[in-house]
Structure 1
Amino acid sequence: MEAKNKVISKEDIVSLYMDYVLEKGQKPKSVYHFAKENDFDEVEFYAFFGTLEGLEKEIFRMFFGNTVDLLNKNEEYQQYDMKNKMLSFYFTFFEVLTANRSYVLEALKLERNPIRNLAQLTALRDSFKEYVSEILTDDYRLEQERFQKFQEKAIQESAWLQLMMTIKFWIDDASPAFEKTDIFIEKSVNASFELMNVAPINHLIDFGKFLFKEKVYSKQ
């Protein structure tokens, strides 16, 4: 009864939910069941979330928010160009994911339907696309104003696809300290900026060789 007298916060509910999924190996059947299991009133849940699905989305958005908060604490980050900001984001974001790896693997594994898994990431997707738009510089914008909005959307979508590919690589990565994911990040970000810059394709070739090597040796 004592726990019910305590004011529960949004962060408390998120922590309880992550623990529930990890300990039970499944998601709660309902908000009522989840609240009862954790000794707080159902109405307290609805003060922050409308549904369990909304809570799941918020967890991944919070991973993103924690990443940006950490980046903004670094004074040097503000002086970086777009590519180095993106690299900093990736390395920091995957540090956050790694700190919560057990939950991320469990949450995405529980849903066999890939569409359902993508639904969990919609809030992350919106936040990430906004972030890409914020760091987009004139160096990568077309001079023709009428094409700029189309170009920006294309960059956002391709950046999101790249992030999803990196998450998948990280999930499958069994290397110590996920060092192969670090290599994947560096090569894929370099390759994407080569394309944006319409520059020589050295990084694209380098990234292609890395992927080919990983595919060949992973089958052995």
Structure 2
Amino acid sequence: MDTKKKIINKEDIVSLYMNEILEKGQKPKSVYHFAKENDFEETEFYAFFGTLEGLEKEIFRLFFVNTVDLLHKNADYQEYDMKNKMLSFYFTFFEILTANRSYVLQSLKIDRNPLKNLSQLSLLRESFKEYVSEILTDDYRIEQEKFQKFQEKGIQESAWLQLMMTIKFWMDDASPAFEKTDIFIEKSVNASFELMNVAPLNHLLDFGKFLFKEKIYNKQ
């Protein structure tokens, strides 16, 4: 009888870790304990990750990678302007987060120190900022070359803060099918592009009204 042990891969480790967080509600004490409890060698873990923290960061980066992969499978995506690419990213990314909602909520609230929880998003932050730079078109860049790099960094940082706000809103959203998050995404993206265009502030005011309404109703 062949009793050869299955070789574990990166996807296996990710899946095992997510399941452990969901089932136990806490992080493994160490790589050694995580490997032993899941019947694989500690050295197999280190072939893919340096630490448990590195694994946590990679999980959120993979949510991003899967999002972009799905976007590029859409033949029409490359023809979208920047705003519609961003909207497509948001809706696809939050579909993936929703499919993994229990893990996301657990992992981002597991530590008493919120900064430690947010550190899991560092690789996501880097990848998202690169994505913003890639879809940034000349319509949203300043013509003067010496200001262009500064402006691009500013757009990347503001886009990241907007994504963080949306994640927080989604985490607190109790509406059916998270429909309020969909509204939040559309209004916030519209508002941010209005600001970049220095255009009429209709979308910004509309977004402000939505936030005000949510705040008032949530207090009742």
Which band: TM-score by shorter chain? over 0.9
Distance of 1:118 and 1:4 partners within structure 2: 40
1:112 Cα deviation after fit: 2.2
1:132 maps to 132
How has the CA–CA distance of structure 1 residues 4 and 27 changed in structure 2, closer, same or farther, with 3 Å as cutoff? farther
Count of residue pairs the alignment pairs up: 219
2:149 maps to 149
Distance of 2:14 and 2:114 partners within structure 1: 23
Which stretch has the larger CA shift, 115-124 or 51-60?
Answer: 115-124
1:109 Cα deviation after fit: 1.0
1:44 Cα deviation after fit: 0.1
1:94 maps to 94
How has the CA–CA distance of structure 1 residues 75 and 6 changed in structure 2, closer, same or farther, with 3 Å as cutoff? same
Distance of 1:151 and 1:60 partners within structure 2: 27
What TM-score, normalized by structure 1, do the two folds share? 0.98
2:44 maps to 44
What TM-score, normalized by structure 2, do the two folds share? 0.98
Distance of 2:106 and 2:81 partners within structure 1: 35
CA deviations over 1:124-144 (Å, ceiling 9, x no partner): 000000000000000000000
1:53 aligns with 2:53: yes
1:218 maps to 218
Structure 2: which 5+ residue stretches go unaligned? none
2:21 maps to 21
Q: Which runs of 4+ in 1 moved over 2 A?
A: none
Distance of 1:214 and 1:182 partners within structure 2: 14
8 Å CA contact 1:4, 1:40 repeated in 2: no
Distance of 2:126 and 2:111 partners within structure 1: 21
Distance of 1:3 and 1:86 partners within structure 2: 49
1:4 Cα deviation after fit: 7.3
